Amino acid sequence: MAVRAAVLPAVGAPLEITGIELPDPGPGQVRVRLAAAGVCHSDLSLSDGTMRVPVPAVLGHEGAGTVLAVGDGVGHVAPGDGVVLNWAPSCGSCHACSLGEVWLCANALVGSGNVYARRASDGTDLHPGLNVAAFAEETVVAAGCVLPAPDGVPLTDAALLGCAVLTGYGAVHHSARVREGETVAVFGVGGVGLAALQAARIAGASRIVAVDVSPAKEELARAAGATEYVVASENTAREIRGLTGKQGVDVAVECVGRAVTIRTAWESTRRGGRTTVVGIGGKDQQVTFNALELFHWGRTLAGCVYGNSDPARDVPILADHITAGSLDLSALVTDRISLDDIPVAFDNMRAGKGGRALVTF
């Protein structure tokens, strides 16, 4: 029986909501019925070609659901179990994995090149965008792409653990390593930015500045932990320095992926400050520095993939924060939508509106 899914027929083409046929899970595979899937900016980047995946593909990489069936050799989950999807499973054998840097696994996205399903109407081969193809009522994934969902966390909330929360929390705790009492600025108040704001609060940051182009996001940002809100302009770095005794913040977390925002985030930090870049920008987004300012300011600028997170290690830690009440997943969601509404959610992201849209099935 066919299930409904959002198919990207070609790079730059509109999504098509259509029926797809899934096979039974083979050895080392798991079939999952989705409870919810978050609409991430990375999905938009895949759709418009900023990031490349084989097409046609079913997009969606942040989700949670219930196991329907497992193939031979799968022992860590069973039918009926709640699971969180992990779009970047580590192989355990490449150079990065041998160093313990599983978020940089060289083979994490190999599965995206496979054919995993077919269009119901004409049998066209379909690829799983970022391995898990979460924009569908059901999916079939490799066993490494599922993690047991935390007890007591609704699956519709647990979906956010698969990308937004791991990325935002990890950017603060693993990449920037924010310490208690430090000051933090978060650029971009989308799903990842809201998670980063909560993570900065959990870390004990003394001042948390949220920056976004939209004045309408201030309430969201403050609810997540921001103590100050700055509407982005050409004076943003000066405003942030003004809020911090003309020094600048200790840490800036950039969740936008634009050259001007990355440069502004770097300029907003103090001498010796740290900037972590989470946002995914295109190849045309060139950031420039001169040699003298790099020496003089002594700042660091670091990229951050998947929050430098190890999902198997970090999801239980996040579950503890949820249980303690310090991490509120539902506060990241600004729109609960249907599968048919994903194109509208893409338009809202292009316009800089809202936080995280969540598809609920």
Q: Are residues 158 and 217 located together in one domain of the fold?
A: no
Strand partners, 251: 184, 274
Q: Which residues contact 258 (CB under 8 A, 6 or more apart)?
A: 279, 281, 285
Secondary structure (3-state) at 319: helix
Q: What is the pLDDT of residues 301-357, one digit of tens each?
A: 999 999 999 999 999 999 999 999 999 998 899 999 999 999 999 998 888 777 789
Q: Are residues 178 and 134 located together in one domain of the fold?
A: no
Domain count, the chain: 2
Burial letters 284-301, b for 16+ CB under 10 A, else e: ebeeeeeeeeeeebebeb
**Residue for token digits 């420039």?**
288
The tokens for 84 are 């969180």
Q: Is residue 103 part of a domain?
A: yes
Strands (E), the chain: 3-8, 16-21, 29-39, 57-58, 62-70, 82-85, 117-119, 125-128, 138-142, 146-148, 183-187, 207-212, 228-231, 249-254, 269-277, 300-303, 333-337, 356-360
Q: What residue type is assigned to position 280 of the chain?
A: I
H or E stretch covering 249: strand 249-254
Range of the domain at 220: 168-305
Q: Are residues 187 and 274 located together in one domain of the fold?
A: yes
- Do 267 and 156 contact (CB within 8 A), yes or no? no
Q: Are residues 275 and 298 located together in one domain of the fold?
A: yes
H or E stretch covering 147: strand 146-148
Q: Are residues 117 and 204 located together in one domain of the fold?
A: no
Strand partners, 185: 209, 252
Q: Is residue 52 part of a domain?
A: yes
Q: Are residues 66 and 149 located together in one domain of the fold?
A: yes
Q: Are residues 139 and 180 located together in one domain of the fold?
A: no
Q: Are residues 127 and 212 located together in one domain of the fold?
A: no
Q: What is the DSSP letter of 357?
A: E
Q: Residue 196: what pLDDT?
A: 98
Strand partners, 63: 37
Q: Are residues 158 and 184 located together in one domain of the fold?
A: no
- Do 260 and 234 contact (CB within 8 A), yes or no? no
Q: Is residue 323 part of a domain?
A: no
Q: Is residue 310 part of a domain?
A: no
Secondary structure (3-state) at 166: helix
Q: CA-CA-CA-CA torsion for 153, 157, 160, 166, nearest 10 degrees?
A: -30
Q: Is residue 189 part of a domain?
A: yes
What pTM value is reported for the model?
Answer: 0.94
Burial letters 61-74, b for 16+ CB under 10 A, else e: bbbbbbbbebbeeb
Q: Any alpha helices (H) in 268-305, and if so which ranges? A: 291-297
Q: Are residues 24 and 154 located together in one domain of the fold?
A: yes
Dihedral sign for Cα atoms in the order 164, 209, 189, 293: negative
Q: Residue 351: what pLDDT?
A: 84
CATH number, domain containing residue 36: 3.90.180.10
CATH number, domain containing residue 244: 3.40.50.720
Q: Residue 82: what pLDDT?
A: 98
What distance, in Å, lies between the first and last C-alpha atoms of the chain? 17
Q: Is residue 98 part of a domain?
A: yes
Q: Is residue 126 part of a domain?
A: yes
Q: Is residue 319 part of a domain?
A: no
Q: What is the pLDDT of residues 52-68, one digit of tens each?
A: 889 999 999 999 999 99
- CA–CA distance, 172 with 308 (Å, rounded to integer): 10
- CA–CA distance, 224 with 255 (Å, rounded to integer): 15
Q: Are residues 205 and 110 located together in one domain of the fold?
A: no
Q: Are residues 140 and 230 located together in one domain of the fold?
A: no
Distances 322 to 158, 226, 327 between C-alpha atoms, Å = 10, 19, 5
CB-side neighbour CA atoms (13 Å) of 215: 1
Among 213, 190, 155, CA closest to 361: 155
The tokens for 234 are 């050409």
- Residue-wise pLDDT tens for the chain (361 aa)? 799 999 999 998 999 999 999 999 999 999 999 999 999 988 988 998 888 889 999 999 999 999 999 999 999 999 999 999 999 999 999 999 999 999 999 999 999 999 999 999 999 999 999 999 999 999 999 999 999 999 999 999 999 999 999 999 999 999 999 999 999 999 999 999 999 999 999 999 999 999 999 999 999 999 999 999 999 999 999 999 999 999 999 999 999 999 999 999 999 999 999 999 999 988 899 999 999 999 999 999 999 999 999 999 999 999 999 999 999 998 899 999 999 999 999 998 888 777 789 999 9
